[in-house]
Amino acid sequence: MVELDRYTVSIEAFEAAEILPLWQQLEHRVKPHFFLSACWVSVWVEVFQPEVQVVRIHCDHQLIGLGLLTCRKQVRHGVLSSRVLRLGQTGIPSQDQIWIEYNDLLLEPEHAQQAPAAFMRFLMQRRDWDEVQLGAILEGRARYFTLPALHSVVQWSAPLYRVDLLAIRRRQSRYLDTLSRNTRYQINRSERLYNGRGKLVFSVARSAEEILPLWQRLGALHTARWGEGPGQSGFANPDFVQFHRALINKGCGQNRVEFCLLWLDDEPIGMLYNFVYRKRVYFYLSGISYEEDARCKPGLVLHARAIQHYLDAGYDCYDFMGGEARYKQSLGQPGGQLQQISLQRPRLALKLEQLGRKIKSWVQ
């Protein structure tokens, strides 16, 4: 335990059973994104059982911050070996494919700017790491972790898109009325085409008993779209499937997980896997039955119906989260950037890697 300015930082091993009560107490005061909720964190610990150390940050003897830290050696380019610290990730690709977003320390808002630097200064006193990897973290949050002694490398970034439901509700508008003329036309035309073939119905499933029988069908649609290879659809990865089945079971019990469905007669032609938390909807992934007729756009129709449903239900934001996609641009507004950033010590091998990246970028 080390005192840094106003902050006292400690990092030590905890039993899994000890983590959850601490996390829940602080979560109640912090009101974080879903990926820092006890629901997500407890499933991550239970399913993967990582060798984790708990970061505790106190200010004036009060607990104001928590984090779950792992350390794993990573070999890159076949020769470069680096000891990497990670928040909320294990460093095992099959486990990290669960796609955590809005990653961060769990911090009380009034300490959100100063505490990350205190955490990093504490880490600088340890000699058992070469780089700290943060991801996927908001670009505006990442800067609070940077120190002059560390080199920051942005490994990837992705734009965020969202729909401000609160603003639409204040204007007393329908969601479709906020969209461009072309997007409205595509949605309305798709609905007319489907209604000419059968009965088009939107529904929401909220219980594990409803959702789990649909999970396999969602996986088949997702895999058909994204592929079965490494790093493609998570449904080809047993770790991904195990985690999300457990998350559905726990999340449904806490009213945190929902499926939005679009049916044509008795056949689901689209499914959205959403997290709902503190008046915010997080669209996580979808399974869409695409057609040869390009005029039929089940994904646009389903999202539009879902967004109107959540608008009517009193939610404040529909979050498409990270990733560049045409439909996100058409249906939402830009909301910043997510980054995976590596904060690196001045190691020769890491400097050579940085030089190699610059040369590759210059050549391209």
CB atoms within 10 A of CB 214: 16
CB 133 within 8 A of CB 85: yes
Work out the angle at residue 290's Cα, subtended by the Cα atoms of residues 288 and 291, and round it to the nearest 5 degrees.
Answer: 155
CB 84 within 8 A of CB 131: yes
CB atoms within 10 A of CB 320: 24
What is the percent of the chain where pLDDT is above 90? 83
3-state secondary structure of 4: strand
What are the structural domains of the chain? Answer: 2-150+345-363 (3.40.630), 165-336 (3.40.630.30)
In 3D, which of 292, 269, 304, 295 has the Cα closest to residue 198?
269
Q: What is the pLDDT of residues 76-106, one digit of tens each?
A: 777 788 899 999 999 999 999 999 999 999 9
CA 222 to chain centre: 18
Q: What is the mean pLDDT of residues 256-285?
A: 97
Q: What is the mean pLDDT of residues 128-147?
A: 95
Q: What is the reported pLDDT for 18?
A: 81
At residue 359, does pLDDT exceed 90?
no
Q: What is the pLDDT of residues 25-40, one digit of tens each?
A: 999 999 899 999 999 9
Residue 140, token pair as written in the block: 């505006």
At residue 16, does pLDDT exceed 90?
no
Whole-model pTM: value is 0.93
Q: What is the reported pLDDT for 79?
A: 73
Q: What is the DSSP string of 224-264?
A: HHH-SSTTS-GGG-HHHHHHHHHHHHHHHHTT-EEEEEEEE
Q: What is the pLDDT of residues 294-325, one digit of tens each?
A: 899 999 999 999 999 999 999 999 999 999 99
Q: What is the DSSP string of 292-313?
A: SSTT--HHHHHHHHHHHHHHHT
Confidence grade of residue 230 (pLDDT, cut at 50, 70, 90): confident
At residue 363, does pLDDT exceed 80?
no
At residue 169, does pLDDT exceed 70?
yes
Amino acid present at 30: V
Confidence grade of residue 196 (pLDDT, cut at 50, 70, 90): very high
At residue 360, does pLDDT exceed 90?
no
CB atoms within 10 A of CB 361: 8
Helices first, then strands: H and E counts in the chain: 12, 14
3-state secondary structure of 133: strand
Mean pLDDT is lowest, of 93-102, 224-233, 238-247, 289-298, for 224-233
Q: What is the reported pLDDT for 353?
A: 66
Residue 345, token pair as written in the block: 């010590």
Q: Tell me the β-bridge partners of 334.
A: 161
Q: What is the reported pLDDT for 3?
A: 63
Confidence grade of residue 228 (pLDDT, cut at 50, 70, 90): confident
- What crossing angle do the helices spanning 238-253 and 208-226 adopt, rounded to 10°? 150
Give the C-alpha separation, 362 to 364, whole Å. 5
CB 92 within 8 A of CB 42: no
Average pLDDT, the chain: 93
CB 319 within 8 A of CB 274: no
**Phi and psi for 51 in degrees, rounded to 5?**
-80, 90
Those residues whose C-beta lies under 8 Å from the C-beta of residue 309, and which sit 6 or more positions away, are 202, 204, 260
At residue 252, does pLDDT exceed 90?
yes
In 3D, which of 277, 235, 233 has the Cα closest to residue 256?
277
β-strands 280-288, 2-4 pairing: unpaired
Confidence grade of residue 292 (pLDDT, cut at 50, 70, 90): confident
Q: What is the reported pLDDT for 258?
A: 98
Q: How far apart are the first and last CA of the chain?
A: 47
Radius of gyration of the chain (CA): 22
Q: What is the reported pLDDT for 14?
A: 80
Give the C-alpha separation, 207 to 278, whole Å. 18
In 3D, which of 94, 150, 144, 100 has the Cα closest to residue 118?
144
Omega before residue 304 within 30° of 0, cis: no
In terms of C-beta density within 10 A (0-12 exposed, 13-18 middle, 19 or more buried), how is residue 140 classed? Answer: exposed
